[in-house]
Amino acid sequence: MSTYQPQHSLRKAAGRMLRGLKRRLHPPINPPLSLLPTPWQPLLPGPRTNDACPKLLVLSHMYPHPQQPFLGPFVHDQVKALRQYLNIDARVLVGRPYWLGGKNPMALWRQSQQYFQFHDTCAWFSLDGVPVKYLPYHVFGPFWTHGWAYRASLGRGIERLYEVFPFTIIHAHTAYLDGSAGLAIAQRYRVPFLITEHTNPFSFLTNHPIIKRWTRRSLHGAEKVIAVSVKQQRDVAMHMADPYRERVLVLPNGVDVELFRPPAMWRPDPRMPRILFVGHFAPYKNLPLLLEAFSLVVRTLPEARLCLIGGAESTRQESDLRHLVARKGLKEAVTFLGPQPHAVIARIMREETDLLVLSSQSETFGCVVTEALACGKPVVSTRSGGPEDIVTADFLGELCVNNHPEALARAIIKVATNIHTYAPRRIRRYVEERFSYQSLAQALDTIYHQVCEAA
């Protein structure tokens, strides 16, 4: 049984992440053009404005970056869908940490001057046709200080952007950082503003009084607040004043149904199920629970195999998981593949997987669940929030009580031993109707029109 403590673990994880970013991101946030990976292309002198299209400014600190290419693909895919299916001129501003080090006042002053020079010369890039600009923001203290610095960074030079790109609506992804910046810019230019909240768990933003105040201010200033699951809708609304709670609506994340698709042929063997986990090895993903459950699965299905895709937050974290695998006698049955590009994950789901398992303590949504279903594969998940909105019928897989290895093992065995009863075409059709990016783009377009007409 896991002894996971959500808030404590998340704070430790955030600390490790920020220390890692400090080593990697100071100073260049935009790499030299000669070192730019292939999906990113320079936009010189900058993206052209299409006066005939609606103009959307997107703010997201979790957007993919050359140094973190697997970050926030659901935000990028959403923006790409808006441009592709609705002909919306959507552009993205991304805040990236710029660390100030040392205590010498003169050294700090020189670093600040370098920061402003660097900020003012940041260029636009194209990622799969989406114009994106990465802007540094000062990091000089704990996370509760980041809101002010982030807002100042994205607001710096915004008048020059507005001159060439007079945006008519702002969409911020998360309330604390991007919401704070989005609200300030929206008030300055008197344009409507909305938020999609992704933070997991939302209490990460409400357990600190200063972060909570910034977060509530952004939520109350937004015309609409989008939650990606019913549970998250309740969590967000609980921290808003009564008159504003009706603004919170549910719109799930999307899935790329072209990339994630069923195999031409699938012949699963109930005696040898190929089980897949995809996700960061963060504490809230509760991988020890999955390994404990899998050790029970192999007692019934000794030829079952488990593949783990994702990266740990530290070498010690992955080492602990590998030691647990060895201690359970699972070294021959468990494979660590590390982080993988989206295309590789899609191929593995399609061709080398029979069912996906998610063992999380908490999930705002669960993108890997819809990705596996889009490949026509059943899913087993703990009842952790978001998955309950996705796995809504028996033909999609099984949900089980959270933090209970025996229950998770029983659910895996049930799906594996009845694997032939799951119909890939039916599962796929369910996803296409509810979670395709085309349907998501249409739903967002309706929301945009509503907030613009009410403004």
**DSSP code per residue over 383-400:** --BTHHHH--SGGGEEEE
For the 274-434 domain, the top CATH level (class) is alpha beta
CA distance 78 to 255: 9
Element (H, E) at 249: strand 248-250
> Which pLDDT tens digit goes with each residue over 214-254?
999 999 999 999 999 999 999 999 999 999 999 999 999 99
Alpha carbons within 13 angstroms on the beta-carbon side of residue 337 total 16
Let me know: does 57 contact 158? Beta carbons within 8 Å.
no
pLDDT at 33 > cutoff 50: no
CA distance 61 to 97: 9
Residue 38's pLDDT is 65
Residue 29: band (very low, low, confident or very high) from pLDDT cuts 50, 70, 90: low
Residue identified by tokens 């899609």 is: 346
Q: What is the mean pLDDT of residues 436-447?
A: 95
pLDDT at 368 > cutoff 80: yes
Residue 180's pLDDT is 97
Residue 314's pLDDT is 83
Q: Is the dihedral of CA 377, 383, 385, 388 positive or negative?
A: positive
Residue 37's pLDDT is 63
pLDDT at 405 > cutoff 90: yes
Residue 3: band (very low, low, confident or very high) from pLDDT cuts 50, 70, 90: very low
Residue 263: band (very low, low, confident or very high) from pLDDT cuts 50, 70, 90: very high
- The candidate with the shortest Cα–Cα distance to 252, out of 366, 349, 346, 372, is 366
| b/e map 56-94, b = 16+ CB within 10 Å | bbbbbbbbbbbeeeeebbbbbbbbbbbbbbbebbbbbbb
Three-class SS of residue 125?
strand
- In angstroms, what CA-CA distances link 357 with 65, 319, 424, 434? 28, 21, 17, 21
CA distance 109 to 113: 6
Q: What is the mean pLDDT of residues 186-212?
A: 94
Q: What is the mean pLDDT of residues 372-381?
A: 98
Residues in CB range of 454: below 8 A, 6 or more apart: 192, 223
pLDDT at 48 > cutoff 80: no
Residue 116's pLDDT is 87
Q: What is the mean pLDDT of residues 197-209?
A: 92
CA distance 25 to 96: 8
- The candidate with the shortest Cα–Cα distance to 389, out of 197, 230, 196, is 230
Residue 4's pLDDT is 34
Element (H, E) at 304: none
pLDDT at 10 > cutoff 60: no
> Which pLDDT tens digit goes with each residue over 74-84?
999 999 999 99
CA 132 to chain centre: 17
Residue 98's pLDDT is 87
Element (H, E) at 61: none
CATH dotted code for 10-254+437-454: 3.40.50.2000
CA distance 197 to 385: 14
Eight-class DSSP state of 431: H
CA 191 to chain centre: 26
> Which pLDDT tens digit goes with each residue over 300-332?
999 999 999 998 888 888 899 999 999 999 999
What letter represents residue 66's amino acid?
P
Residue 266: band (very low, low, confident or very high) from pLDDT cuts 50, 70, 90: very high
Residue 100's pLDDT is 75
Least confident segment among 50-54, 181-185, 268-272: 50-54
> Which pLDDT tens digit goes with each residue over 125-166?
999 999 999 999 988 788 998 999 999 999 999 999 999 999
**Average predicted confidence (pLDDT) for the chain:** 89
Residue 23's pLDDT is 40
> Which pLDDT tens digit goes with each residue over 69-127?
888 889 999 999 999 999 899 999 999 998 877 677 787 778 778 888 889 989 899 99
pLDDT at 377 > cutoff 60: yes
CA distance 447 to 155: 25
Let me know: does 428 contact 376? Beta carbons within 8 Å.
yes
* Residues carrying CATH 3.40.50.2000, the chain: 10-254+437-454, 274-434
Residue 378's pLDDT is 98
Strands (E), 121-216: 124-127, 130-139, 169-173, 193-197
